[in-house]
Amino acid sequence: MKKIIFKLVAALLVISGLAEIAFAAKKKETKAKVKTIIVGTGKIYAPFCYLDDNGKLVGYEIDVLNAVDELLPQYQFKYETFDFANILIALQAKKVDIGAHQFGKTPQREESYLFGEQAYRAAANKIVVLKTRNDITKLEDLQGKTVNTNTGNLVTEFLEKYNTTLPEDKKIKLIITPSNVPVEEKIAKIKNGTYDAVFTHNPADIEKWNAEYGNLLKAAGDLSKETSVFTYHVYRKGDEELKNAVDAALKQLLEDGTLSKISLKALGYDSTINLK
Amino acid sequence: MPKFFSWERFLSNLPKLLSTLPVTFEIVLVTYSIGVILAVILAYIRIRNIPVVKQIIALFVSFERDTPLLVQMLVSYYGVPLLIEKFFDVDTREWPRIIFVFIAYTANVAAFLSEVFRGVILAIPKGQTEAALSCGMTGVKSFTKIVLPQAVRIALPNMWTFLISLVKSTSLVYMIGVVDIIGRAQVIGSATSHSLESYIIVALVFVIFSILLQFPYKFIERKLAFKNKQEK
């Protein structure tokens, strides 16, 4: 019995050793050529990253990175899709090299990840309420109200911080849902009064929801300057080379107007005005 | 007046969602068939009391049994590649994700069914093995020819229940980005702002699928039962 186990272990070691050599050789070969960069994005976040009718990945994120890719001959971008909450995990697990899902900078995130310096979209977070309501127009009006936000986004973080400055009876009641909860739930709950307000940083959302669900909603002003979104690509710490290359390409795209063209095409409005 | 539910969307989503069913079938077929074979081997090793290996298997089974499948899948997807890279220096990033689903689900099936098999193999009276050995059969032969056929008959209800539960647990694979029926439902929901119709279809598909799976089971069970009677 012992002999068999010994032989098995020995055989395994030999095989793994051989495999290592074989694969190491293979890896060296590919390194000399164009480096493949895997981009982690989402697929249920229209119009930024989603699948079209044919199951093809499209959206603003993809259009921007494709344009960047064209300027960088040393890299080739490939796209992998994840649940929003999992992209940063995938980045850390080396599954992907760039995270692209409308990430905003926060101090906590910057502790663990490397952020690009050139933002590629700017937008304000709007408060969205029912058309029939006129009592909410700014952040202070939300005190004591119930709002819906998504896990892990800037608004949630901001409102949690804001709540700590308020007395107990004035605190905003946050109902935090995962980002993959269907839109219907949001609309149905704001319609029946469960939520007093929801938020979006994409003005096209409100138009779309109104078209789909019967002209219910309106934008009631910006939430706060602190939640104005500047979105960046996210990299692993230590990946400066890639970051600098993408930053430079983005700068070029912004200056020659390509970025605003992409924005007009993919989003329906120019979201790069405040970037310059 | 736009509505939350419309038959139009229901009908137009139906073919899109049904077209993802092969993914579910593939996962179930691959993981269940490999899992069953592994389970028999694991159960056999544990019953034969092979030292060291037995303890490792006990640890493996207890991990698979005591952690949620979702966690196992995430471990397989994010953890296993790191191990592979460390020990074999293989870049797994461009491997299709479904491979990690296969790894996680096969391990889960193997662990659960190995416990089922262990129970039923032990339920076969020891006299059967002793009789087979005394007739000159080898240990492995007495196991595969005498004990296993009887054991499978007792294990069948549990095995089939587990198969149905496996079909339903495939609905988790969208979490790592495999576009199965739920993944597609989410995608449609995001692109059109309407998910209700898709989720209703998904629910119906799983119900119909599970009901359909009961028919072959009844057939097999009847066949085996009939054989039993004749043997008596």
This model of the complex carries an ipTM of 0.74
How much of chain B exceeds pLDDT 70, in percent? 96
What letter does residue B24 receive in the DSSP assignment? H
Q: Which amino acid is at A191?
A: K
Which residues of chain B does A86 touch, with a Cβ-Cβ cutoff of 8 Å? 175-177
Among chain B residues, CA nearest to A206: B193
Residue among B52, B177, B195 whose CB faces A80 most closely: B177
Collapse the DSSP code of B23 into the 3-class scheme (helix H, G, I; strand E, B; otherwise coil) and give the result.
helix
Return the structure tokens found at B94: 């461009």
Residue among B1, B177, B196 whose CB faces A184 most closely: B196
Asked if A234 and A88 count as a contact pair (C-beta separation under 8 A), the reply is yes
Angle at B49 between CA B48 and CA B53, to 5 degrees: 110
Closest listed residue to residue A230, CA positions, set A106, A112, A91, A113: A106
Return the structure tokens found at A268: 């329906």
- For B20-76, the pLDDT digits (tens) are 999 999 999 999 999 999 999 999 899 888 889 999 999 999 999 999 999 999 999
CB atoms near residue B129 (< 10 Å): 17
Min Cα separation B157/chain A (Å): 36
Q: Answer whether A25 touches B (CB < 8 Å).
A: no
Among chain B residues, CA nearest to A191: B4
Which residues of chain B does A93 touch, with a Cβ-Cβ cutoff of 8 Å? 78-79, 81-82
Asked if A202 and A47 count as a contact pair (C-beta separation under 8 A), the reply is yes
Q: Answer whether A43 touches B (CB < 8 Å).
A: yes
Sheet strands (E) in A120-209: 121-123, 126-130, 146-150, 173-177, 197-200
Q: Answer whether A151 touches B (CB < 8 Å).
A: no
- In sequence order, the 6+-apart residues with CB closer than 8 A to the CB of B196 are A182, A184, B4, B5
* B22: Cα separation from own chain's centroid: 16
* B94: Cα separation from own chain's centroid: 25
CB atoms near residue B39 (< 10 Å): 26
| Predicted local confidence at residue A2, as pLDDT | 56
Which residues of chain B does A36 touch, with a Cβ-Cβ cutoff of 8 Å? 94
Among chain A residues, CA nearest to B15: A53
Return the structure tokens found at A256: 């020659």
Residue among A16, A46, A214 whose CB faces B87 most closely: A16
Min Cα separation A70/chain B (Å): 21
3-state secondary structure B131-199: HHHHCCCCHHHHHHHHHHHHHHHHHHHHHHHHHHHHHHHHHHHHHHCCCCHHHHHHHHHHHHCCCHHHH
- Give the Cα separation of A109 and A93 in Å (integer): 16
Residue among A50, A182, A208 whose CB faces B195 most closely: A182
| Predicted local confidence at residue A148, as pLDDT | 94
* B88: Cα separation from own chain's centroid: 28
Q: What residue has token string 């689900």?
A: B105
Min Cα separation A171/chain B (Å): 31
- Is residue B196 predicted with pLDDT exceeding 80? yes
- For B159-183, the pLDDT digits (tens) are 999 999 999 999 999 888 888 999 8
Collapse the DSSP code of A155 into the 3-class scheme (helix H, G, I; strand E, B; otherwise coil) and give the result.
helix
User: Which of A6, A213, A215 would best serve as a mutation to test chain B binding (most B beta carbons within 10 A)?
Assistant: A213
Core vs surface per residue B143-181: b (16+ CB within 10 A) or e: beebbbeebbbbbbebbbebbbebbebbbbbbbbbbbbb
- Give the Cα separation of B112 and B96 in Å (integer): 26
Bridge-based pairing of strands A229-235 and A98-104 is antiparallel
Confidence class for position B152, pLDDT limits 50, 70, 90: confident
Q: In what order do the strands lie in the sheet with A197-200?
A: A173-177, A146-150, A197-200, A126-130, A217-222
A52, B87: Cβ pair inside 8 Å?
Answer: no
- Is residue B187 predicted with pLDDT exceeding 60? yes
* B172: Cα separation from own chain's centroid: 13
Angle at A29 between CA A23 and CA A33, to 5 degrees: 140
| Predicted local confidence at residue A74, as pLDDT | 93
Which residues of chain A does B77 touch, with a Cβ-Cβ cutoff of 8 Å? 95
Burial grade of B224 (CB within 10 A; 0-12, 13-18, 19 or more): middle
- Give the Cα separation of A140 and A158 in Å (integer): 13
Q: Answer whether A240 touches B (CB < 8 Å).
A: no
A and B: number of Cβ contacts within 8 A: 93
pTM of the model: 0.79
Q: Answer whether A206 touches B (CB < 8 Å).
A: no
Residue among B91, B191, B199 whose CB faces A27 most closely: B91
User: Which of A54, A56, A184 would best serve as a mutation to test chain B binding (most B beta carbons within 10 A)?
Assistant: A184
Collapse the DSSP code of A138 into the 3-class scheme (helix H, G, I; strand E, B; otherwise coil) and give the result.
coil
- What DSSP assignment string belongs to A42-105? -SEETTTEEE-TTS-EESHHHHHHHHHHHH-TTEEEEEEE--HHHHHHHHHTTS-SEEEEEEEP
- For A170-187, the pLDDT digits (tens) are 999 999 998 888 888 889
